[in-house]
Amino acid sequence: MSVPKSEYLSSVWAPGIFANRVLFVTGGAGTICSAQTRAMVHLGADACIIGRNPEKTEKAAKDIAKVRSGARVIGIGNVDVRNFDNLKAAAERCVKELGAIDFVIAGAAGNFIAPISGLSPNAFKAVIDIDTIGTFNTVKATIPYLIESAARNPNPNPNGLTGGRIISVSATFHYTGMPLQAHVSAAKAAVDSLMASVSLEYGPYGVTANVIAPGAIEGTEGMERLASSAADKQKMTKAVPSGRWGSRRDIADATVYLFSDAGNYVNGTTLVVDGAGWRRQGGN
Ligand code: HXC
């Protein structure tokens, strides 16, 4: 699948800024994380894409590798982020095949629309397990490599890119609460809290840990479910102060910023990329 560069990257980013660095991304075949990964690979990174479905994961890896001649992108399927041993083995394989893990995107997520009355305890737990426990497992499995990366690329280093770095992909629902998304709201609140602790514990090692909170993004599975009719979509677009939904490129650009040397000193924060949508989420 050929995806035009304009769909995942602004023109301001310089070629090669991530050369000789490796990105490890869970959910990398998904709509948002694949755009984040394309941008990173385009700018020089190699990447390891982790997913549950082997065919989808390997296909995404092959497609993403095409954005840059010589890019090394591997797909590791049959990995469930709920299983720490799966993730640990995937991280070991990434380091064996690509030499390092310098950047991590914890992007694997589970979502469906359901009222609390329609959520079984197991349904609630399934999303907590994927989003929250999955993010913890991803951090735990990759942090030794990120510490090594940070030792190779120390912080401060005003003239270069420091590392390693983690971004978790979260959401904004928990800022206000969100009907039909109680499970996701709770899971993402825990993700944000976890990442704050990671930034405190691993900042002294030179590792940065941040969160990107996308708002309504065009073409994503999550939004297709949340706004399944044209009327829903129009209502949700009207509620965004910037007057539009975000694009996958908006999220990819935020990722490049946080992982680039422009983001060397950004740690323990959440970058909300939502056109100020969350400020009206509660009906303001
Ligand atoms: C109520 C539901 C449900 C639904 C599943 N369940 N779908 N309950 N309404 N629509 C219940 C099941 O009945 C079961 O409970 C429990 O959830 C676990 O379901 P399983 O199918 O056994 O689990 P599993 O195969 O692990 O699937 C996990 C999943 C699934 C979360 C349910 O949707 C999934 O794999 N999703 C991954 C892909 C995905 O969702 N991507 C979109 C991410 S978008 P019982 O009691 O019956 O055992 C995103 C962005 C959020 O996260 C922000 C949007 C703007």
Q: What is the pTM of this model?
A: 0.95
Q: Is 188 a catalytic residue?
A: yes
- Beta-sheet strands, E only, within the chain: 22-26, 46-50, 73-76, 103-106, 165-169, 208-214, 270-273
* Contacts (Cβ under 8 Å, ≥6 apart) of 121: none
CA distance 131 to 25: 14
Rounded to the nearest angstrom, the distance between the alpha carbon of 217 and the centre of ligand 1 is: 20
Q: Quote the ligand 1 centre to 73 CA distance (angstroms).
A: 28
The number of C-alpha atoms within 13 Å of 7 and in the hemisphere containing its C-beta is 14
118: left (phi over 0), alpha (psi -120 to 50) or beta: alpha
The answer on pLDDT for 180 being more than 70 is yes
Lowest mean pLDDT among 2-6, 22-26, 57-61: 2-6
Main-chain dihedrals φ then ψ at residue 268, nearest 5 degrees: 75, 30
Report which ligand 1 atom has the smallest distance to the Cα of 118: 1
Nearest CA to ligand 1 atom 48: 122
Which of 34, 149, 170, 185 does the annotation list as catalytic?
170
Rounded to whole angstroms, how far apart are CA atoms 57 and 42? 18
41 has which bridge partners? none
CB of 114 sitting under 6 A from ligand 1: yes
Give 155 or 198, the one with higher predicted confidence.
198
**CB 116 less than 6 A from any atom of ligand 1:** no
Contacts of 112 (CB under 8 A, 6+ apart): 123, 225
- pLDDT of 170 reads 98
Distance from the alpha carbon of residue 130 to the mean position of ligand 1, in angstroms: 9
Centre of ligand 1 from the C-alpha of residue 50, in Å: 19
ipTM over 0.85: yes
Closest atom of ligand 1 relative to the 126 alpha carbon: 18
Q: Which residues, 6 or more positions from 229, have their beta carbon under 8 angstroms from its beta carbon?
A: none
Angle (CA) 150 40 128, round 5° = 75
pLDDT in tens, 235-254: 889 999 999 999 999 999 99
For β-strands 208-214 and 270-273, DSSP reports them as parallel
For a mutational test of ligand 1's pocket, the pick from 122, 211, 226, i.e. the residue with the most ligand atoms closer than 8 A to its C-beta, is 122
Q: Which of 34, 149, 185, 188 is catalytic?
A: 188
- pLDDT bucket at 258, cuts 50 / 70 / 90: very high
Q: Containing H/E element for 191?
A: helix 182-202
Q: What is the mean pLDDT of residues 132-143?
A: 98
Predicted pLDDT of residue 98? 98
